[in-house]
Amino acid sequence: LSSTDPLARDADPGQDEGLLSPGTAGTAAESATGDAAVLRALVDAEAALAAAQGAPPAVVAAINTAGAELSVRDVALRARPGGNPVIPLADLLRQGVGSAAGRDAARYVHRGATSQDILDSALMLVAARTLPGVLDDLGRTAAALAALAAAHRDTPMAGRTLTQQAVPTAFGLKAAGWRSLALDARDRLHAVRLPVQLGGAAGTLAALGGGVPGGSGDAGLTLVRAYAGELGLLEPALPWHTLRTPVVDLGAALAFTCGALGKAAADVLTLSRTELGEVAEGSGGGSSAMPHKANPVHATLVAAAAKQAPGLVSVLYGSLVAEDERPAGAWHAEWPALRGLLRLAGGAAAHAAELAEGLRVFPARMAENLRLTGGLVVSERVSATLGKARARELMDLAAERGVSFADAARDEGHGDLVDPAGWLGAAGSLTDRALHRS
């Protein structure tokens, strides 16, 4: 069983293919953020920069062609001495374009740029390509939850606080709350602004038309706009190589998404418990040991995402402290954290959509559970209607007679007060209001 076993796999063992990430494996966000997608975006950024600088279409095409022939692993390994993948990428593209289109063509590659211009822009591009899928899944989630909320607008269930049944609520209101969080996530992701980064070695655009002796510097500003246009990203007011607002805003919206969906997952996990049985996932996950089990796997994987996101986003908040014109470490620390959050949010949204669309709701179990306290779950209503003293009397009476609070109330002619369905408050109105939000 040694690690040098002759059966040991020959394939490059460093690569990850999702084995430890069932919550993101096979999702659109996984492929949109994989190394191949990142490399594609890096090449796109180089091609866009050349195009914005007036490179002939054939040169731009040559950059794309050269880029398509690169090996991710080769670039990754060559990235080590310089600490980032753009240094070898630019060299390899220059070689490729030079071979295909000549030395003059090669001069267009990475002209005046610094690694960060390409890498930051590429990660924004990756985000721009990942977010639509996440938003779609949030939309699916919200739509399914809206249907559940409407269908169960008046379905009574126990409201639970600090794990104990407190007073009744309605399942519709609960689903409407989950939906409102999904919409909050959607709105925050929609509001994220994804700009290009372009500034050159120290953010002054000096080698990008900003520094032409005698010039006004405006050529550099114009170039930033053209570059943004090529990539379909926004034009920033300032190069943001060390002003990391775009990264934190994006990361914060993604971490919010994970946590917001995590609330629904937590509730589904609780309500799915064998002893509660109020909801179940459409098709529960199996078990390697127990044939009868139907596990709430979607909820579990969303919950796992919600537990990972806070740690990752804390890295991004920390990297706001980006010293000098390029920080030694804070920038590099962002990359895996940002990709991780894109994936976690994408995976969580995909699983939440499956969860919401397939969720089965069991009103009968909700009603049954509401009977567990023998009417105490509506003691608030009795108190509010008859006064605390009378409510206390009824409790004492119940204890004395060895019957439930509900039975004691019924015996005393207050049976109308102990129906949970009569104490849902504004649950219906709140649900209606929440469903008006689009």
Query: What distance in Å separates the CA atoms of residue 343 and residue 93, rounded to the nearest whole number?
Result: 28
Binding to a copy of itself, residues 332-351 (CB under 8 A) = 332-333, 335-337, 339-340
CB of 87 to a copy of itself, least distance (A): 5
Cβ neighbourhood burial of 151 (10 Å; 0-12, 13-18, 19+): middle
Quick one: which of 58, 77, 399, 421 contacts a copy of itself (CB under 8 A)? 77
State the residue for tokens 């219906």: 428
Q: To the nearest whole angstrom, how small is the minimum distance from the Cβ of residue 411 to a copy of itself?
A: 18
Interacting residue with a copy of itself among 95, 104, 216, 399 (CB under 8 A): 216
Residue corresponding to tokens 């949030």: 138
Quick note: the x/- pattern for a copy of itself over 263-282, rule CB under 8 A, is: x-xxx-xx-xxxxx------
Q: For a copy of itself, which stretch binds (CB under 8 A), given 134-142, 143-151, 356-364, 372-380?
A: 372-380
Segment near a copy of itself (CB under 8 A); pick from 138-146, 211-219, 355-363, 407-415:
211-219
- 54 CA to centre of own chain: 38
Residue 94 appears among annotated catalytic residues: no
Specify whether the CB–CB gap between 22 and 308 falls below 8 A: no
Is 255 a binding residue for a copy of itself by CB under 8 A? The answer is yes
Kindly state the smallest distance separating residue 345's Cβ from a copy of itself, in Å.
12
Contact between 371 and a copy of itself per CB under 8 A: no
Mask 104-143, x = binds a copy of itself (CB under 8 A)? ------x-xxxx-------------x--------------
Q: For residues 231 and 126, is the Cβ–Cβ distance under 8 A? A: no
Residue 151 Cβ vs a copy of itself, minimum distance, rounded to whole Å: 18
Per CB under 8 A, the list member of 55, 97, 101, 330 interacting with a copy of itself is 330
Tokens of 399: 């204890």
Tokens representing residue 273 in the block: 């418990």
Name residues contacting a copy of itself, limited to 153-182 (CB under 8 A): 158-170, 173, 176-177, 180-181
Stretch that binds a copy of itself, among 96-104, 137-145, 147-155, 326-334 (CB under 8 A): 326-334
- Where are the strands (E) in 186-312, listed by range? 279-280
Q: Of 216, 287, 314, 429, which residue is the catalytic one?
A: 287
Active site residue 153: no
Quote the CA–CA distance of 338 and 184 in Å, as a whole number.
Answer: 20
Long-range contacts of 377-381 (CB under 8 A, 24+ apart): 377/158, 377/165, 377/166, 377/167, 377/168, 377/420, 378/167, 378/168, 378/406, 378/417, 378/418, 378/419, 378/420, 378/422, 378/423, 379/405, 380/167, 380/423, 381/167, 381/417, 381/418, 381/422, 381/423
Instruction: Provide the mask over 22-61, with x wherever binding to a copy of itself is found by CB under 8 A and - wherever it is not.
Output: xx-xx---xxx-xxxxxxx---x--xx-------------
CB 186 within 8 A of CB 437: no
Q: Kindly name the residue from 111, 326, 390, 392 that is annotated as catalytic.
A: 326
Give Cα separations from 214 to 63, 201, 210 (angstroms): 32, 20, 10
- Is the CB of 141 or the CB of 319 nearer to a copy of itself? 319
- Our finding on whether 314 is near a copy of itself (CB under 8 A) is yes
User: Which one of residues 147, 386, 395, 403 is an interface residue with a copy of itself (CB under 8 A)?
Assistant: 395
> Do 402 and 143 contact (CB within 8 A), yes or no?
no
Say if CB 301 and CB 22 are below 8 A apart.
yes
Query: Which residues are part of the catalytic machinery?
Result: 287, 326
